[in-house]
Amino acid sequence: MKNYHYFSENEENLKSDPSTYVFNYKDHKFTFKTDNGVFSKKFIDFGSYTMLNYFKPNQLEGDILDVGCGYGPIGIILSVLHNKKVTMIDINERALGLAKENIRINGVQNVNVFKSNVYENVPETMKFASIVTNPPIRAGKKVIYDIFDGAYQRLLPNGELWVVIQKKQGAPSTKTHLESVFGNCEVVGKESGYFILKSVR
């Protein structure tokens, strides 16, 4: 238990204490069920909120992939706002169960979710117009950079990777790394120390 973090695969020793909150956003009402052992249990975190505010769907025909989706707020909200098909992935089994429940609760038809350790279960033949991630910082630099590096092969030509990350958690070095992988990285926005970064394949 001492080494537990929300990017862990399961929480069999972590007591369940489910709760629900309502999030009103852009004339839509969303309801999210959460629990112990998932990121931002009490309410949508500011990083995800900032991502939602800045994200613009790619003009390409194609779907969105939400990497490290947690209980599903980013993917579910983006699918509703932009009428896009969204695939969500995570390794945390409790989060996956909640994400499936939240898809049902919110009546979303064009979102699917499945278990994957980073892109382990996402074949390179699956290509996306946009990949979004609020990366699991506590999982460590290797996991985070695997998310960034693997995105390149799973984007359509001119597809976009969107990342939200705090300055104090490595936004400048992330920007440098994305520039080395993609050849570009734009700071789309900054809010209260959070950077929204975008790289185009």
In a domain, 6, yes or no: no
Instruction: Check pLDDT > 50 for residue 90.
Output: yes
pLDDT bracket for residue 161 (50, 70, 90)? very high
How many domains, the chain? 1
pLDDT bracket for residue 11 (50, 70, 90)? low
pTM, 2 dp: 0.91
Domain hosting 97: range is: 45-200
- Give mean pLDDT, residues 75-84: 96
Residue-wise pLDDT for 63-77, tens only, equals: 999 999 999 999 999
Residue-wise pLDDT for 119-145, tens only, equals: 999 988 899 999 999 998 878 889 999
In a domain, 9, yes or no: no
Instruction: State the Cα–Cα distance between residues 169 and 98, nearest whole angstrom.
Output: 27
In a domain, 95, yes or no: yes
In a domain, 22, yes or no: no
